[in-house]
Structure 1
Amino acid sequence: MRLLIVEDDQQFASVLATQLARHGMIGDVVPSLRQAEQALASHEYRVMLLDRQLPDGEGAEFVSRAREIRPGLPIVILTAKSEISERIDGLDSGADDYLTKPFSTDELLARLRAILRRPTQVVVQTIRIGNVRYSSDDREVWVDGEKLTLPRRQLLVLEALLMRHGRTVSRAALLESVYGLDEHLESNALEAHVSKLRRALAESGAGIKIHVLRGLGYMVQEIRQESAGPVRQ
C-alpha cells in the first residue's frame, strides 16, 4: 500500500516512513502543500497522512483541495496540537481521522485499518474529449459511439492520460499507473504500449492524440487543439 506523508519535520517523517515500511507500506514524503499537490496529481495513494503546520500553509485547509484532486482519498491529520478545539477543526475540515503526536505506530496502523474498512463511495467519471468517451466505471472507450476494444495495458495507459488530459504525465507516473510497483520491466515496455495505443487511436478515427514530450512525459489532447499550441510530437 502506498501512502503520501506530508510532513516538514524530516526526522519524524523518516522514522514514520521506516516504521510503515516494516509493515509492507510505502510512504512518499513531501515537506510542503505545494509538493503534496504535485504528488497527488501524479500518483495514486491509498491514504494521505497530513501534518497541520507546514511551511506554506495550514494542513487542515488543504483537505478540500486534496479531495478535488483525489475524490474519496482517506486523510489522517497528524499534529502536535492536542486541544479539543483543534481536533474538532481538523475533523470538520473533512479529514477522516486526527492523531496527536507523539503516537504509537500500532495505533496509527489500527486507525488506518479502520479507515480502509469503511465503505467508500465510488466516484464514476465519464470523460469526453472530441469524439472519444471514456467511463471509469466499466473502463470502456467509445469513439463516435463505437466501442474501442484495447488490451489491458493500453487501456491503463489511456485511462491515466485521459484522467489528466491537457496536462503532462511523467513517464514515472505513467509506469506506476500501468504496472504498479513492479520493477522487473523491460526498459522499452511502456513505449511499446504507447506506440500501439497511438496506432489504435489513429485507426479508429479517435479525435485525440498522445503527444510524446521528450524528457517530460506524455500528454493527450484533442486533435483540433494542435494548431493552437507549441506542443511537438
Structure 2
Amino acid sequence: MRLLLVEDSARLRSLVSELVKAAGWRIDTVGGIGSAETAIASISYDLILLDLSLPDGDGVSFIRSMRTARNATPIIVLSARNAIDDRIGALDAGADDYLTKPFNSRELLARARAMMRRAPLSAQPVIEAGALRFDPADALVTCANERLALTPRERAALEILMRSVGHVVVTQRLETALSQFAEEMSRNAIELVVSRLRRKLAPFPTGVAIETIRSVGYLLRETT
C-alpha cells in the first residue's frame, strides 16, 4: 500500500512517515496542495492523509477538486480543527474519515487499515509465483506458510516482480515505484535492494529465481 501525506509540519511529516513505514507501507510526503497535485498526477495512491490548513490553499477545496475530477482515492483528514462544522464540511466535500490532532498513532493505523478493507476484495487479490504468496491487503509475503521478513522496499520490489512473473521488469519501473516522492532511487540503489531480496529468498523453497537482464531490468522466473 502506498500513501500520500499532505502536511506542512516537517516534524509531523517525519513522525507519520516513520509510523507508516514501520507498518510495512510506503509513503510519500509533501508540504502543500501544489505538490500534492503534482504527486497524484504521476502516482496512484491507495490512501491520502490530508491536513486542512496548508500554506498554499485549503484542504477542503483540494478534496472537492479531487472528487470533481472523479479521483476516488480514500482520504483521511488529519486536522487541528475540531469544530463540528469543520468535520461536516470536509466529509461533505468528499473526505472518507476525519481525525483531529493530536491523534493516537495506533488509531491512525487502525483507521487506515479499515479504509483499505472497504475496497473491493477483487481489487486486491493474493498474488502467487512459485511457492511465494503476497497478500496486498496486509503486505504479507509467505513461502510454505512461513512469513518472510522483508523491508518495505524489498517487499515492493518483490510485488512488482511477482505481478510480472515470466516477464522483464525494466529498471526504470522499479526506480519509480520504490522512490519516495522527491527522493528518487538510483540504479545502484535498485541493484542493492534486489541483491538483498535474493539473499532473503535463498533459504526458502520459493520455486522462483530473480534474473538480471543486463542494461534492461529484472525477470522473476519460476524454476519448478
Q: How many angstroms does 1:122 deviate by? A: 9.1
Task: Find the aligned partners of 2:66 and 2:85 in 1 and give their Cα distance.
Answer: 23
> Comparing both chains, which one has the higher relative contact order based on Cα–Cα distances under 8 Å and sequence gaps of 6 or more?
2
Task: Find the aligned partners of 1:189 and 1:172 in 2 and give their Cα distance.
Answer: 11
1:208-230 Cα shifts (integer Å, max 9, x gaps): xxxxxxxxxxxxxxxxxxxxxxx
Give the fraction of aligned pairs with identical amino acids, expressed as a percent: 39
Residue 102 to residue 189, structure 1, CA distance change in 2 (3 Å): same
Please state whether the residue corresponding to 1:95 is helix, strand or coil: coil
1:176 has 2:177 as partner? yes
Retained in 1: the 8 A contact 2:6–2:31?
Answer: yes
Q: How many angstroms does 1:109 deviate by? A: 1.1
Partner residue, 1:39: 39
Residue 66 to residue 172, structure 1, CA distance change in 2 (3 Å): farther
Partner residue, 2:57: 57
Partner residue, 1:189: 216
Residue 98 to residue 52, structure 1, CA distance change in 2 (3 Å): same
Task: Find the aligned partners of 1:43 and 1:34 in 2 and give their Cα distance.
Answer: 14
Q: How many angstroms does 1:67 deviate by? A: 4.2
Please state whether the residue corresponding to 1:48 is helix, strand or coil: strand
Q: Which amino acid aligns with 2:177?
A: E
* Superposition map of 1:32-111 within 5 A: 32-67=32-67, 71-111=71-111
Retained in 2: the 8 A contact 1:37–1:66?
Answer: no
Residue 189 to residue 15, structure 1, CA distance change in 2 (3 Å): same
Task: Find the aligned partners of 1:43 and 1:21 in 2 and give their Cα distance.
Answer: 18
* Superposition map of 1:145-184 within 5 A: 171=172, 175-176=176-177, 183-184=193-194
Partner residue, 1:17: 17
Q: Which amino acid aligns with 1:10?
A: A
Retained in 1: the 8 A contact 2:32–2:56?
Answer: yes
Gaps of 5+ in 1: 124-150, 158-170, 194-233
Partner residue, 1:26: 26
Task: Find the aligned partners of 1:173 and 1:60 in 2 and give their Cα distance.
Answer: 33
CA-based RMSD: 3.4
Residue 94 to residue 30, structure 1, CA distance change in 2 (3 Å): same
Greater C-alpha Rg: 1
Retained in 2: the 8 A contact 1:40–1:70?
Answer: no
Retained in 1: the 8 A contact 2:5–2:13?
Answer: yes
Q: How many angstroms does 1:112 deviate by? A: 1.1
1:40-99 Cα shifts (integer Å, max 9, x gaps): 111121100010011110011111333466732111111000011110001011000011
Gaps of 5+ in 2: 124-164, 179-184, 195-211, 220-224
Aligned length in residues: 149
Q: How many angstroms does 1:23 deviate by? A: 1.1
- TM-score after normalising by structure 2: 0.56
Q: How many angstroms does 1:153 deviate by? A: 5.4
Task: Find the aligned partners of 1:34 and 1:121 in 2 and give their Cα distance.
Answer: 32
Q: Which moved more, 1:50-59 or 1:15-24?
A: 15-24
Task: Find the aligned partners of 2:25 and 2:11 in 1 and give their Cα distance.
Answer: 18
Retained in 2: the 8 A contact 1:30–1:36?
Answer: yes
Retained in 2: the 8 A contact 1:72–1:121?
Answer: no
1:87-119 Cα shifts (integer Å, max 9, x gaps): 000101100001100001111111111111114
Partner residue, 1:116: 116
Residue 174 to residue 13, structure 1, CA distance change in 2 (3 Å): closer
Retained in 1: the 8 A contact 2:66–2:72?
Answer: no
